[in-house]
Amino acid sequence: MIDAAIRPELRAKYRNVFEIDAHLDRLVKRIELLSYINPLNAEKEKHRFFASKYTKEPQFKYPKVKFDAYKLNRLILSHRIDRIEDEVIRELYKEVIYFYANMVQCIETIGSKNKFYYNSLRVYGTPRERDVENARFILHFDDEPAFASMEKRHSPEDAKDYFESFAKDYAFPLKVRFSTHISADAMVSNSNQTLLIKRNARFSDNQLLTLAHHEIGIHLVTTYNGLAQPLKIFSNGLPQNVETQEGLAVLSEYMGGALTLKRLKELSYRVLASDSLSKGYGFAATFDLIHNQYKLNREEAFGITLRAHRGGGFTKDRLYLSGLSKIYKRYLKEQPMDRLLTGKVSMDYEKHIAYLQRIGLAADGLHPCLSFSKKNNTNSTLDFILNNLK
C-alpha cells in the first residue's frame, strides 16, 4: 500500500490532516447512497403501474437506514479543519466535509419526496439546457439494426464467469455477489469493493462487454486506486466526482469498442427523465414522455423513469452524458487521464490532486484503465455524434 511508504517527516508535518482524514473515513466509509436508494418493491410496483394503464404513481419502499443521521452529521461537521495549516488542503477538506454532510442528508431523506429531491439537487444538480439539447440531438438518429450481439441470452451466472475472465487482465481481486435490490443490471459497491449482479437480469454479448469496461475498467480501477492512496478521501470520494467517474466509464466503453447508439440513446433518455423531474412532473408523466412520446418500450421506459424518480427525485443520471462530453473533449485534446483515475475524484479538483502529489500526499494510480491504451471503436456515427456534442 502507498500509505506505508509515507515518510515519517511528512506524516509528522501533516499530522492534523491524517487525523481528520482517518476520522472522516471511520465515519463515512460505510455510507453509500446507492445502498439505500434502490426500491425494495420495484417489480411489484411495476406490475401495479402497468395494470393501472400507467396512471397510478408507484409507492416505493426503501431499505432502512442503518445509522443515526443526525449524530453522524454532527460528527462530520465537528472536525477542526482550522488545525490544518496548509491553506489548499484546509479548503479541500472543508468542501469534502460539506459534501459528506450533504450525502448523509440525502440518505436520511430517501422516500421523503421534496426533502430528498432538494438534497439530491445540492449533490448532483439539475440538467442544463445544453444537456437536454445534446440528448435530443442523439435521439434524432435512426436506430441501429438489431445485431445478434444485442440478444439477451446470458444468465447472471454467465455474466459472473465473463466478468471474472475479463478481470484477469487487472492486478486486483474481483469479488462478485448477486443481488435482487439494485436497479442496474450490474454495479460496483465502492465500500465493499464488490461487483453486484442483478439476480433476475439477462445479458447480451454487447452488454457484458459494456459493463466490463464500465464497471471493472473504471469503477473498480478507481476504487482500488483510491484505497491505495495515503488519504482516504480518494476512496470515499471528492465533491462532484460522479460526472467525472461516469464520463470516464462511458469513454472506456467507447475505447473498448462496446459503445453503441442504443447505449447513447439510453443516456439521453436519462437526461430527459431528469429534466422532466426537475420541471415538476410526476412518475406517470415522465413515463409518458419516454414511452409514448419517444416510443421507448415500456420495460425500458419504466427503468429509466424509476432511476430518475427513486428516492423522491434523483438527478444523478443526468451526469452520464455531460460527463462523457467533457471527458471526450479531453480525449480529443490528448490530455492525460491519469490523475482522474487516482480514486473517486473530479476534474474540478485536478489542481488539488496535482498539489497533493507534488508534496507527497498522493501518488499515481496503481491500476490503469486498459481500454484507454487503444481505440477499438469503429462506428463512424458515434464519432460524428461525440464530435458534435455541445
Q: Where in the sequence is the domain holding 352, given as residue range(s)? A: 2-387
Question: Could you give the CA distance from residue 247 to residue 322 in angstroms, rounded to a whole number?
Answer: 7
> What crossing angle do the helices spanning 319-332 and 380-387 adopt, rounded to 10°?
100
> How many C-beta neighbours within 10 Å does residue 172 have?
17
Total structural domains in the chain? 1
Question: Could you give the CA distance from residue 238 to residue 342 in angstroms, rounded to a whole number?
Answer: 11
Phi-psi region of 111 (alpha: psi -120 to 50; beta: other; left: phi over 0): left
Q: Are 107 and 33 in contact (CB under 8 A)?
A: yes
Q: What is the DSSP string of 260-327?
A: -HHHHHHHHHHHHHHHHHHTT--HHHHHHIIIIIS---HHHHHHHHHHHHGGG--GGGGHHHHHHHHH
Taking only the tens place, the pLDDT of each residue in 349-366 is: 999 999 999 999 999 999
DSSP H helices in 31-144: 42-51, 69-77, 87-108, 113-124, 129-139
Q: Which residues of the chain have pLDDT under 50?
A: 1-4
Question: Could you give the CA distance from residue 247 to residue 29 in angstroms, rounded to a whole number?
Answer: 23
- Predicted local distance difference test score (pLDDT) of residue 149: 81
Q: Which three-class secondary structure state does DSSP give residue 69?
A: helix
Look at the block and give the residue holding cell 499515481: 364
* Cα–Cα separations (whole angstroms), residue 23 to 72, 95, 192, 282: 12, 16, 19, 40
Q: Which three-class secondary structure state does DSSP give residue 112?
A: coil
Q: Are 219 and 245 in contact (CB under 8 A)?
A: yes
Alpha-carbon torsion angle 158, 164, 166, 170, nearest 10: 170
Strand partners, 187: 196
Look at the block and give the residue holding cell 408523466: 285
- Predicted local distance difference test score (pLDDT) of residue 5: 67
